[in-house]
Homo-oligomer: A and B are copies of this chain.
Amino acid sequence: MNYYEESLKLHAAHHGKIEVISKVPVKTRDDLSLAYTPGVAEPCRAIHKNPADIYKYTSKGNLVAVVTDGSAVLGLGNIGAAAGLPVMEGKAILFKEFGGVDAFPICLNTQNTEEIIKIVQAIAPTFGGINLEDISAPRCFEIEERLIETLDIPVFHDDQHGTAIVVLAALKNALKVVGKDLKKIRLVVNGVGAAGVAVTKLLICYGLPATSIYLCDSRGVIYKGREALNATKEQLAEVTNIACHIGVDHPECRTGGLAEIVKGADVFIGVSQPRLVTPDMIRTMNKDPIIFAMANPEPEIMPDLAKSASAAIVATGRSDFPNQINNVLVFPGLFRGVLDAGIRRITAEIKIAAAEAVASYLPSLTAEAILPFPLDRGVAQAVATAVKKMKK
């Protein structure tokens, strides 16, 4: 199937993918008097009197805003908020389909950090949670942090944490399949955008030794004191490629480009650009290399090519290959859990609990099945259950 062509037809046939329907009857005069005026005055008064009642009398508690500024849409880059709407609608229907969460796209006609923060703060009353989507780094970090600080509902940048959670789950299982120990691997994260940063941070939180993580941007591996480091990269230079802190002559301190840094590595995690990885690069890696090539819509290396270069396990972001690292394994269940439990902050512990729920979902693992099938409805349920248990 030609996905692009067929997708265009599907979108045109339905004029988009979402609709907003009623949960209550609106057929009789009495229906109207209860759902609208005069009856509706009473829930309004109740909420005015006791603000927490908004969760009781409105849809807020099950409504998530999918907010974007269109600055980093899929692998398409900064195509703007309007052109990003098909992705946000897609996200919304996945929320509903897998998590029973009502989600609505909010595409913002601004890419100004302060404006985005103000707008999301202003529209928050309608929503029980905010899913930030496809906002480019490093603005996404500040936007998310400031919103988490100021709002009383959970805020989650899915490109960061959704990806990080699925990667952690996939890594756990891939290491099991090849029989390697998390504490003894060397791992390269290529791409220091939203996903790369969050993946690195979550792996560190999970217990991966900071000496074993190497983070690359387009200039090569990041180390303390390297040129062209922004604030985020400087922070990560403190906790990755850590031998460099001692001195650049230390044998474990790595410099150089991607081709050099993958030599001897056990795991390559790509959240970067299509076709950056060659079969030759994979051949220089340690035995049974694990390749997560998640560039969208084209991976860093196609699975067949990676396999031909002796990759033991290959995962991509695509639904047309096995081992899909798809955030749909996480965000519907995660939000289902936090909304049901009334959790206001999605902490690292909650993210790890979600990753473990995904990782332990499959009864048996193979190189072609390190993750559940994204359409398996049971995953969201397992994640939601694990998340709810984290309520303190």
Contacts and interface: CB of A to CB of B under 8 A. Distances in A.
Contact of A33 (B14, B58, B320): B320
Contacts of A88: 126
A230 interface: no
A119 B123 contact: yes
Given A44-B74, A124-B109, A319-B38, A59 B28 contact: no
Given A58-B11, A107-B126, A115-B122, A74 B40 contact: yes
Nearest to A92: B20
A18 interface: yes
A310 to B, nearest CB: 26
A29 interface: yes
Contacts of A7: 33-35, 39-43
Contact of A125 (B4, B32, B109, B320): B109
A41 B122 contact: no
Nearest to A7: B39
Interface stretch (A79-87, A155-163, A204-212): A79-87
A121 interface: yes
A149 interface: no
Contacts of A92: 20
Interface in A179-210: none
B375 A32 contact: yes
Interface in A97-119: 97, 102-110, 115, 118-119
Nearest to A320: B33
A94 B57 contact: no
Given A57-B11, A125-B82, A41 B107 contact: no
Given A16-B60, A44-B87, A85-B126, 10 more contacts: A3-B33, A15-B55, A18-B22, A18-B23, A18-B102, A19-B102, A29-B319, A29-B373, A109-B124, A119-B122
A48 to B, nearest CB: 4
> How extensive is the interface on chain A, given as a class?
35 or more
B39 A54 contact: no
A248 interface: no
A119 to B, nearest CB: 5
B44 A86 contact: yes
Contact of A297 (B38, B109, B319): B38
A38 B320 contact: yes
A109 B121 contact: yes
A58 B123 contact: no
Interface of A: 1, 3-8, 10-12, 14-24, 26-30, 32-48, 51, 54-63, 73-76, 79-94, 96-97, 102-110, 115, 118-119, 121-126, 296-297, 317-320, 328, 373-375
A57 B8 CA distance: 7
Contacts of A375: 27-29, 32
Contact of A24 (B17, B32, B46): B17
A249 to B, nearest CB: 44
A27 B26 CA distance: 30
A242 to B, nearest CB: 34
Contacts of A54: 82-83, 85
Contact of A44 (B29, B79, B109, B115): B79
A317 to B, nearest CB: 7
Contacts of A319: 29, 32-33, 36-38
A106 B104 CA distance: 11
